[in-house]
Amino acid sequence: MHSCLQDQEIVFAFDDIDTIMVDSRPPLLGHLSKREREDFWRRCLRFLVDVAKVVKPNKKGPNYYTWRTGIFRSPYYRERTLEKIEETLGGRHREQI
C-alpha cells in the first residue's frame, strides 16, 4: 500500500548545519568550540547517510546533502530507523537510549 504522505527533499550544505543548530533556542552544543561542534555534526551526518539512510549526498557538490523530510512521518520508516539506531548502538533497548 502506498502512503499518501509526500516526501519533500531539502538540499543543505554542511556549512549551514552549525549555524542552524547554534541559532536554535536553546543552542545545540553551543558550549563547545566550532571545531568540536563540526566534528560532532560530521559524525551525525555520516550516521544519517550510512546507517539511517535518510540523508544522501547531493549532486551540487561534495558538501551538499539531501534530506527526505517525509520519511519520518511514516510509522514504518520511523520504526525501521529506530531499529537501525539500536543495532548501531549495540542492541540496547529504545527505552535506554
The rounded distance, in Å, linking the Cα atoms of 92 and 26 is: 28
Q: Say what the pLDDT of residue 37 is.
A: 92
The answer to whether residue 29 scores a pLDDT higher than 70 is yes
Question: Do the beta carbons of residue 56 and residue 66 sit within 8 Å?
Answer: yes
Place of cell 559524525: 43
The answer to whether residue 94 scores a pLDDT higher than 50 is no
For the chain, list the strands marked E by DSSP.
9-13, 55-57, 64-68
The answer to whether residue 2 scores a pLDDT higher than 60 is no
Q: Say what the pLDDT of residue 83 is.
A: 72
Q: Which comes out higher in pLDDT, residue 79 or 17?
A: 17
Segment among 10-19, 25-34, 70-79 with least mean pLDDT: 70-79
Which residue ranges make up each domain of the chain?
A: 9-71
% of the chain exceeding 70 in pLDDT: 64
Segment among 75-79, 85-89, 90-94 with least mean pLDDT: 90-94
The rounded distance, in Å, linking the Cα atoms of 65 and 57 is: 4
pTM of the model: 0.61
Q: Say what the pLDDT of residue 59 is.
A: 92
